């Protein structure tokens, strides 16, 4: 019989699927009872016959510290005096089948370094944060009308001591953060840092959802990393995987001898292509587990957002499955209705608890209203990765320029739907691994043309509506694809072409941040205007990006062939003097120097649907950004 009314209420909410801080109820928590210090353990195991806490402190003997089952729904509790921070433990569970199994704590705050698999007692209250100013500014910031350029990062292969031997989170804070700040990125996105048994899963197949991986240090070490990011003015986004978990014996699979965190129905539970198990989104306690987990990362670690992995795999019952491996829902459809309901509930809870965070969906289908509020029928995220743009653009850029004119729609089609969601344009780790080649090495042509293509692609990416994301190594043109057991090829920066790309990335970010037209109306149709989308013969496109202030308008001209065009006419919206403020073909970036050094005066003659036009040089495999710097004589006369 539970006596504590607060505890009773929390247990009730947990079983209702509405306990948003279930990590405070369950798990291992140092506390004092009757003047004696120890640790309170609590675990949910409704199908267990008996549960004990075991560890070095009792010679892993389950007879020493049995837990008490405090309700019919299977919460077990034990207080063990004398234990403290750093205690290593597991739960010994006797199943209804008569088997004894050892399980890591689903709510463990810390875990042993792999290959060891036990949980570690770790209080979270001892770190003193220093990011008050950042958190205050975050509340007042409108991310939709702000620049956002994200550096996607896998710590262990950014730099390491040797393969599979890593630096501490604090060491990475001292090296990664100044580098990212110098380049001008606004956010770091970390591949999953939840505890996982296999390095090469990159964290996407987890066992410890509340444990920051011990590969790089302790929870306080990771808090220091986030704290330092915020002191440098950099936001932190964590890749988060609520769709599935791995089958390792010490993890969540058949936790108490029966399907508990996963679906009991194998056709719904099995993620056959990944060898993992799907969470049972209909089970209330699993909802409490996952929603609490998201809020835990955002609150306890001051994270600025979560990128939610593989949302499509949650939404569709047939994702990655062959005919006969899945079953229709109750209405005869392929949608996982329970997952849809869970996602909406999750996002509602997160934005009620932390209204100023980013919730980004990696959703690869045409599911509508992913980044729309739930009250209008959306899934409730505030951003969606634009996988369509990514696939089209990489397919286009990999082509020999001579063939690009036959596939011109690949660089224009995204503007038909660019404002249907709040999009992030992602060039992520998935695009530069498993034989897909690095971003630079995808580019066709000789050595010079590869770099020119890369510069043109990046410039178009930053001119296109949507926030930006780039995986590490792309910023200096790594030739090899991502090698997840080695660090980046930093020695390439000894070569001029790679050093120039790094400087180009820095200058492109400076342009991006300085020009509100490139981000202020990112998600509104009035932020973009085609000038010429149809010149497929020469693979040239031109468009305008607009801000709230008309004087900040930019004209962008892109040439995706190696031809140079002199005296090329471009329509412009207003008459005046246009200055080329940025060219991807500038010599100091390694380009050919076919730039427009002198101001370009508009001519009051209609062209390409505009009232005025200018005549300019179009660089080979180049992108030019033009800004009206002064009004024309005619406009002055009119005034």
The DSSP secondary-structure symbol of 58 reads G
Say if strands 305-308 and 235-240 run parallel, antiparallel, or are unpaired: parallel
Contact yes or no for 626/552 (Cβ under 8 A): no
**Distance in angstroms (rounded) separating the CA atoms of residues 386 and 362:** 8
**Distance in angstroms (rounded) separating the CA atoms of residues 509 and 147:** 9
Helices (H), 240-281: 266-269
Expressed in percent and rounded to 5, the helix, strand and coil fractions of the chain are 35, 25, 40
**Distance in angstroms (rounded) separating the CA atoms of residues 421 and 369:** 7
**Distance in angstroms (rounded) separating the CA atoms of residues 95 and 41:** 19
What three-state secondary structure class fits 195? strand
Q: Could you give phi then psi for residue 54, rounded to 5 degrees?
A: -130, 155
Rg (CA), the chain: 27
The DSSP secondary-structure symbol of 629 reads E
Angle made by CA atoms 609, 615, 621, in degrees to the nearest 5: 95
Tokens for 297, please give them: 């990362």
Place of tokens 């941040």: 513
Contact yes or no for 144/138 (Cβ under 8 A): no
Q: What is the DSSP string of 443-475?
A: S-SSHHHHHHHHHHHHHHHHHSSSEEEEETTGG
Tokens for 293, please give them: 């987990």
Tokens for 289, please give them: 């587990």
Beta strands in 56-193 (DSSP E): 68-69, 75-81, 88-94, 100-103, 110-111, 119-120, 149-153, 187-190
The DSSP secondary-structure symbol of 553 reads -
Q: How far is CA 12 from CA 47, 73, 282, 284, in A?
A: 18, 10, 17, 11
* Segment 550-553 long-range contacts (CB within 8 Å, at least 24 positions apart): 550/574, 551/628, 552/515, 552/516, 552/517, 552/520, 552/627, 553/517, 553/627, 553/628
**Distance in angstroms (rounded) separating the CA atoms of residues 83 and 73:** 27
Q: Which residues are catalytic?
A: 309, 362
Place of tokens 């302790």: 218
Question: Would you say the C-alpha torsion 289, 313, 395, 409 has a positive or negative sign?
Answer: negative
Max Cα-Cα span within the chain: 95
The DSSP secondary-structure symbol of 498 reads H
**Distance in angstroms (rounded) separating the CA atoms of residues 360 and 306:** 6
């Amino acid at each position: 019989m539970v006596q504590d009314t607060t505890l009773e209420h929390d247990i009730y909410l947990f079983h209702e699927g509405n306990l948003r801080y279930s990590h405070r109820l369950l798990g291992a928590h140092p506390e004092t009872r009757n003047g004696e210090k120890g640790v309170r353990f609590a675990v949910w195991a409704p199908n267990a016959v008996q549960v004990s806490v075991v560890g070095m402190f009792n010679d892993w003997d389950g007879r020493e510290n049995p837990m008490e089952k405090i309700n019919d729904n299977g919460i077990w509790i034990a207080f063990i005096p004398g234990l403290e921070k750093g205690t290593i433990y597991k739960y010994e569970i006797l199943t209804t089948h008569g088997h004894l199994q050892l399980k890591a704590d689903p709510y463990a705050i810390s875990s042993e370094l792999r290959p060891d698999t036990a949980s570690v007692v770790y209080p979270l209250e001892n770190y003193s944060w220093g990011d008050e100013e950042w958190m205050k500014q975050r509340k007042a910031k409108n991310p939709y009308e702000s620049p956002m350029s994200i550096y996607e990062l896998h710590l262990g292969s950014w730099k390491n001591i040797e393969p599979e031997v890593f630096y501490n989170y604090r060491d990475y804070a001292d090296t990664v953060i100044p580098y990212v700040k110098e380049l001008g990125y606004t956010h770091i996105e970390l591949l999953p840092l939840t505890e996982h048994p296999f390095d090469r899963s990159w964290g996407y197949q987890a066992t410890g959802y509340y444990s920051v991986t011990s590969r790089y240090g302790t929870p306080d070490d990771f808090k220091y990393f986030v704290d330092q990011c915020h002191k440098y003015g950099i936001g932190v986004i964590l890749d988060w995987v609520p769709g599935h978990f791995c089958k390792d014996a010490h993890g969540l699979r058949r936790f108490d001898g029966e399907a508990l965190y996963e679906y009991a129905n194998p056709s719904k539970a099995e993620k056959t292509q990944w060898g993992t198990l799907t969470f049972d989104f209909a089970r209330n306690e699993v909802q409490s587990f996952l929603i609490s987990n998201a809020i835990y990362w955002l609150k306890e670690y001051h994270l600025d957002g979560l990128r939610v992995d593989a949302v499509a795999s949650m939404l569709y019952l047939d994702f990655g499955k062959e005919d006969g491996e899945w079953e229709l829902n109750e209405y005869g459809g392929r949608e996982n209705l329970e997952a849809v309901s869970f996602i909406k509930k999750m996002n509602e809870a997160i934005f009620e608890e932390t209204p100023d965070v980013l919730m980004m969906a990696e959703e690869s289908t045409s599911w509508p209203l992913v980044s729309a509020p739930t009250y209008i029928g959306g899934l409730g995220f505030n951003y969606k990765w634009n996988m369509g743009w990514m696939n089209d653009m990489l397919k286009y850029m990999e082509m020999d320029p001579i063939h690009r004119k036959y596939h011109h729609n690949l660089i224009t089609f995204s503007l038909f739907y660019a404002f249907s969601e709040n999009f992030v344009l992602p060039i992520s780790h998935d695009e530069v691994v498993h034989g897909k080649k690095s971003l630079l090495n995808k580019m066709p042509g000789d050595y010079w043309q590869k770099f020119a293509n890369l510069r043109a692609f990046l410039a178009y990416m930053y001119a296109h509506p949507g926030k930006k994301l780039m995986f590490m190594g792309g910023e200096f043109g790594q030739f090899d694809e991502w090698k997840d057991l080695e660090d980046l090829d930093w020695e390439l920066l000894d070569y001029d072409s790679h050093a120039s790309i790094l400087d180009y990335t820095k200058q492109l970010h400076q342009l991006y941040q300085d020009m509100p037209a490139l981000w202020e109306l990112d998600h509104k149709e009035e932020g973009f205007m085609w000038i010429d989308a149809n010149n497929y013969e020469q693979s040239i496109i031109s468009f305008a990006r607009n801000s709230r202030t008309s004087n900040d308008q930019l004209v962008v001209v892109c040439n995706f062939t190696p031809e140079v065009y002199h005296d090329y006419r471009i329509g412009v919206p207003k008459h005046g003097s246009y200055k080329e403020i940025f060219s991807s073909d500038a010599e100091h970036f390694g380009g050919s120097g076919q730039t427009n050094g002198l101001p370009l005066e508009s001519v009051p003659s209609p062209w390409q649907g505009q009232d005025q036009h200018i005549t300019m040089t179009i660089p080979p495999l180049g992108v030019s950004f033009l800004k009206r710097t002064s009004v024309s004589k005619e406009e002055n006369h009119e005034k």
